[in-house]
Structure 1
Amino acid sequence: MQSSSNLFPVALISAERRGDLSEDVYRLKPGNSPDGTVELAVTRLGLADVAQTRGTPVILLHGSFSNRRFWYSPKGIGLGAYLARQGFDVWIPEMRGHGLSKRNHDYVKNRIADYARYDLPAIGAFVREQSAQIPHWIGHSLGGITLAAALGGQFLGAPAVASVALFGCQVSRTHWPLKIPPVEWGGRFILKRLAQLSGPRFKRGPEDEPAGVMIEAMRWNGLFGRFGDRERDWWKGLADVDVPLLAVSAVGDQQDPDWACRKLFEQVGAEHRQYLCLGRQQGFSGDFGHVEMLVSKAAQVEVWPLVERWLKDPLTPLFAAPAEALAPV
């Protein structure tokens, strides 16, 4: 079968019409990581009744225990569908072993370091090849952390990134028991025996997460931990990032609190950056939560239009919300 890309083997595994939207699903086999069995599913959304001319590309990265349905429900509801209807060229990857992406041979050892070093650059290169434009990137929770790791590790940069938006994304919330080495070692031992954590079982989401991702996060929070791998300090690398940045937190987010999201935002050295907190005191209808900041009826009305405005002009402050909610720098 002929590849859909000149970069690496890519197969178009489905092309469907979903109401007013077109849905093309590609399977990428980048072959750029030590595990040669890695395959990544990437869904492309567009308007079904519009000519093939596509708009500005946007790549949406889901969080932990999740998949493409966070951005695009079977009924055609979600930020991904909204942006497609506004004329954007929407791309929704699913990380290794999530959604339509098959579990790779070393699935249990998957790490954010692998996603950032190998997968995101391959996805970005494919989107640039297909769209002939530099994409914008949006990440929620673990998707945002992966994006921050790719930027801080210099695996992605300005030539491949038009702008970045991070929702509910932080790496500074400290879990003090993990500072005690025996506790961290015990946690690693348990996770290795489990191999993966079940999202449905623990009511965290529809997908499992491999032990490797959890062990990696425990290492960051350990006694001498840092946001990085053995080769690079991603946290320090963020200071050299110079792409337009939007960071969004939510007052009601207990998992990734506002102060921690703001700390990550302040570490990024971009000239053009804005910080947005979603809460009543900031002029919004309520104190949004970790998921509700993007998946809720209130988000459809209050947040999605802000995202659209940001994507159309990342260099201009967002004035749609009250001035105190936004912190342009």
Structure 2
Amino acid sequence: MQSSSELFPVALISAELRGDLSEDIYRLKPSNSPDKSVELALTRLGRVGYEHERGVPVILIPGSFSNRRFWFSPKGIGLGAYLARAGFDVWIAEMRGHGLSPRNRDYSRNTVSDYVRYDLPAIADFIYELNPQNAHWLGHSLGGIILAGALGGHYLDETKIASSALFGSQISRIYWPLKLPPLEWTARLLLKRFSVLSGSRLKRGPEDEPIGLVVESLRWHGLFGRFGDAKRDWWAGLAEVKVPVMAVAALGDEQDPAWACEKLLKQFGSPVSEFLCLGKAHGFSSDFGHVEMLISKDSQREVWPLLEQWLRRSPQMAAELESVELEGSNARYAE
């Protein structure tokens, strides 16, 4: 089969109609990481009858124990479907071993660092090859952490990013037992006896998670841990990120509290940022939860339209700010 890309082998494995939407599924084999068996599934949503009209790309990254169905159900419901109907070129990424992405050879050792350093850059390059416009990136929970890591580690080209949005994403919540080295070491030894964490057994979602992600998280939250990999400090790197960024938190989210989500936002160096806290105290109908912030009838009415407004407004704000800064620089130079 002829590749859909000149960058690396890409196969179109499915092309279906879902009511008024088209669903094209690609499988990428970038071979850019030590594990050459990695293949990544990427779903594109478009409007039937408008297949040749490419809107601005929006790339969606699911959270832990999740897959593309978080953003787009078989019945055509979800934020991904909503944005596609609004004219955006919607892409849904599934990480290694999730959804339609097959498990790679070293699946149990997969880490966020792998997603950040290898997988997201390959996804970005392929989408830009097919649609050379600056893309919006959205991540929920772990998906937002992956996105923040890729930005803070400077593995994504900021000149090709229109904006970023993080939903229920944080890395600042403190787990005090993990600050005690003996307990952290014991936890690592116990976890390494397993290969995966079962989403269904834990009642967290339809997917499993490789144990490598959990061990990596223990390192982040340890006594001298940091958000980063062996090469780069992602947390420090976020201060250099200039792309527009939005962080969305929910007052009913017990897993990723609002204060921690806001702390992650404030670490960004972007001059264009927005914090949205979903709760009755802020004028919303309810205190949304970790999942309900994006998957609920209330979120369809109250959250999705606000996100659409952000996607349409953020690049313009960034351009206007850059123009003002340039004019100020020219004025100082003239003096």
Same fold by TM-score greater than 0.5: yes
CA contact (8 A) 2:171 2:260 kept: yes
CA distance in 1, matches of 2:53, 2:289: 36
Partner of 2:321: none
Deviation at 1:160, TM superposition (A): 2.6
CA contact (8 A) 1:12 1:25 kept: yes
Partner of 2:243: 243
Aligned residues: 317
Deviations 1:186-233 (A, max 9, x none): 211122111100000000100000000011011100111010111111
CA distance in 2, matches of 1:210, 1:312: 36
- TM-score with structure 2 setting the length: 0.93
More off after superposition, 179-188 vs 69-78: 179-188
CA contact (8 A) 2:149 2:228 kept: yes
Partner of 2:102: 102
Deviation at 1:157, TM superposition (A): 3.4
User: What secondary structure is seen at the aligned counterpart in 2 of 1:162?
Assistant: strand
Partner of 1:54: 54
- Letter in structure 1 aligned against 2:147: L
- Letter in structure 2 aligned against 1:128: Y
CA distance in 1, matches of 2:190, 2:135: 40
User: What secondary structure is seen at the aligned counterpart in 2 of 1:15?
Assistant: strand
User: What secondary structure is seen at the aligned counterpart in 2 of 1:194?
Assistant: coil
Partner of 1:201: 201
CA distance in 2, matches of 1:125, 1:315: 20
User: What secondary structure is seen at the aligned counterpart in 2 of 1:193?
Assistant: coil
User: What secondary structure is seen at the aligned counterpart in 2 of 1:248?
Assistant: strand
Deviations 1:284-310 (A, max 9, x none): 000001000000000000000011111
User: What secondary structure is seen at the aligned counterpart in 1 of 2:300?
Assistant: helix
CA distance in 2, matches of 1:79, 1:111: 27
Q: Which runs of 5+ in 1 are unaligned?
A: 318-329
Partner of 2:141: 141
CA contact (8 A) 2:41 2:94 kept: yes
Partner of 1:187: 187
CA distance in 2, matches of 1:190, 1:131: 46
CA distance in 1, matches of 2:71, 2:53: 22
Partner of 2:160: 160
Partner of 2:328: none
CA contact (8 A) 1:157 1:241 kept: no
Deviation at 1:52, TM superposition (A): 1.3
Deviation at 1:131, TM superposition (A): 1.0
Structure-to-structure mapping, 1:1-329, within 5 angstroms: 1-314=1-314
Deviation at 1:50, TM superposition (A): 2.3
CA contact (8 A) 2:109 2:211 kept: yes
- TM-score with structure 1 setting the length: 0.95
CA distance in 2, matches of 1:137, 1:98: 19
Q: Which runs of 5+ in 2 are unaligned?
A: 318-335
CA contact (8 A) 1:157 1:243 kept: no
User: What secondary structure is seen at the aligned counterpart in 2 of 1:299?
Assistant: helix
User: What secondary structure is seen at the aligned counterpart in 2 of 1:314?
Assistant: helix
